[in-house]
Structure 1
Amino acid sequence: MDLATIIGIVLAFGALYAMLTLEGSHVTAILLPAPMILVFGATIAVGLAGGTLKDFLQAFKAVPKAIKGKVVPPQEIIDKVVALAEKARGEGLLALDQEASETEDPFLRRALQNIADGTDAEELRMILEDEIATKAQADRTASKFFQGLGGYAPTVGIIGTVVSLTHVLENLSTPDHLGPMIAAAFVATLWGLLTANFLWLPLAARLRRISELELDRMTLLMEGMLAVQSGSQPRLLGERLRAMVPAQDLPRADSTAAAA
């Protein structure tokens, strides 16, 4: 589990709390129900209005995935593919059907089943590439939704401030109350900027990054499975797959040798 999102958001709000404390203010000064309801409620509402109900549900279903951020290390994928290549060379491609029934990864399972069924290499590549493209499109929908919320939130906050300032102008006859009322009016703008930059935009960026890593994993598996189907030598296949992964994402050679 990658805690980067949780740590980042907590630190961001912690910095805000520290600023309020150092300024001699209190967090309750910005925890006003009315502007918070407007900013959160209206931002999500206009985000829903700009898409479909399915987009909305898909985006919020993706939030746990963004928080957990579970991504399989590339070396683990390479080791798995090399092991499958060794089994295919020793027992034949039909032996991969048993591996398909035991794997929990649906993408790898379908690839193994197609190989065991004798699917043509070009057709298999087309099937797997189409699945990767569909996955990318679905992930873009969730990321785009939160990106949109990040754009709407500051403007919604300004709307809330304008509405509050209109109420302030209606009470010019009570100058003693103008200061607190004006301060409260700008809380809506504050929450619009806070939610955009502390929540919605980081979520969009996180989902986009998780999607990139997942698509890289699927591409690595696709190339590996196609090589297994063509009968590639396991050691050479491992080297080829490692060449497809950035060096910083692979374990260091000395640590690997020590582990061996």
Structure 2
Amino acid sequence: MLKKSKMDLNSVFGILLALVAIIGGQFLEGGHISSLLQAAAFVIVMGGTVGAVLLQSPMKIFVNGLRMGAWVFFPPEHSPQALIKQIINWAHIARKEGLLVLEEFVPGVKDPLTKKGLQLLADGSPPEKIREALEIDVLALENYQRQSARIWEAAGGYAPTIGILGAVLGLIHVMENLSDPNLLGNGIAVAFVATVYGVGLANLVFLPVANKLKTIIGEHVVMQEILLDGFVAIAQGEHPRLIESRLNGYFI
């Protein structure tokens, strides 16, 4: 049920607009882009942020969260109309030929929830048991995905603080070299740029990514709820038109 779609141009435009606005503002103020490029500040902010997120997250959650980050630019394709059409097709077949015939569709299905639902229908499971079994899977997957998305939210919370830590380290470097004016500029640059990196990454990357992933997960959950209700309705022997009418109520 999760198929990658075309690139989300809205995300591409958003990140480009943010970068152009910041870099353009820097030029308008008479600054240079080179003044924003500080390897030490980047290492402090990124290294500290990733380390803090790793500390709070199990490796499985962390890795899955990174993979889900690709959804921002290549979101999974959600097509409620196509899903409802498929459910209605199954309802017509079950109504004419019986529930057992739905077992023929199981081998060709890749989505675990769909496969499980069809198998439960073919086995003649009661509607309440089908709902109970599938709800557990829906809740478990939603929880797993939301935990994975939270690593980006956590990074958005840690990055500004790590940026301030980088600023303090830069100022310490400045204080240690007050007698050598040639070293003061680099220390001050690291101090301010580290704060820019921390606040910028948090508000332009980490938090927006987290919020977009939450939206995508919400859409996925709706798709699963449509599927769940469809299977239960088929098990109850409801008329396909009634099933279609109810499932269309999930979206405007």
Question: Which TM-score applies when normalising by structure 2?
Answer: 0.91
Q: Quote the residue 1:90 is aligned against.
A: 96
Equivalent residue number for residue 75 of structure 1 = 81
Corresponding residue for residue 211 of structure 2 = 205
Query: How far does the alpha carbon of each residue in 1:66-93 deviate from its partner, in whole angstroms, 9 at most, with x for none?
Result: 4311132211111111111111112211
Distance 1:56 1:240 in 2: 38
Does structure 1 residue 242 correspond to structure 2 residue 251? no
Of residues 117, 120, 124 in structure 1, which corresponds to 2:123? Answer: 117
Contact 1:165 1:185 in 2 (8 A): yes
Aligned to 2:195: 189
Q: Give yes or no for contact 2:41–2:193 (8 Å, CA) kept in 1.
A: yes
- 2:29 corresponds in structure 1 to 23
Unaligned 5+ segments in structure 2 are none
Q: Is 2:167 the partner of 1:161?
A: yes
Question: 1:5 and 1:113 mapped to 2: Cα distance?
Answer: 39
Alignment of 1:138-153 (within 5 A): 138-153=144-159
Cα distance, 1:100 vs. partner? Answer: 2.0
Q: Which runs of 5+ in 1 are unaligned?
A: 248-260
SS class of match (1:62): helix
Task: Tell me by how many angstroms 1:239 deviates.
Answer: 1.0
Which residue in the other structure is 1:32 paired with? 38
Q: In the TM superposition, what is the alpha-carbon distance from 1:157 to its structure 2 partner?
A: 0.4
Report the AA paired with residue 82 of structure 2: E
> 2:51 matched to which residue of 1?
45
Q: Distance in 1 between matches of 2:144 and 2:121?
A: 26
The secondary structure found in structure 2 opposite 1:119 is: coil
- Of 218, 233, 250 in structure 1, the residue corresponding to residue 224 of structure 2 is 218
Residue deviations 1:138-159 (CA, integer Å, cap 9, x gap): 0121122111111100000000
Give yes or no for contact 1:17–1:27 (8 Å, CA) kept in 2: yes
Residues 222, 250 of structure 2: 8 Å contact kept: no
- CA RMSD, Structure 1 to Structure 2 (Å): 1.7
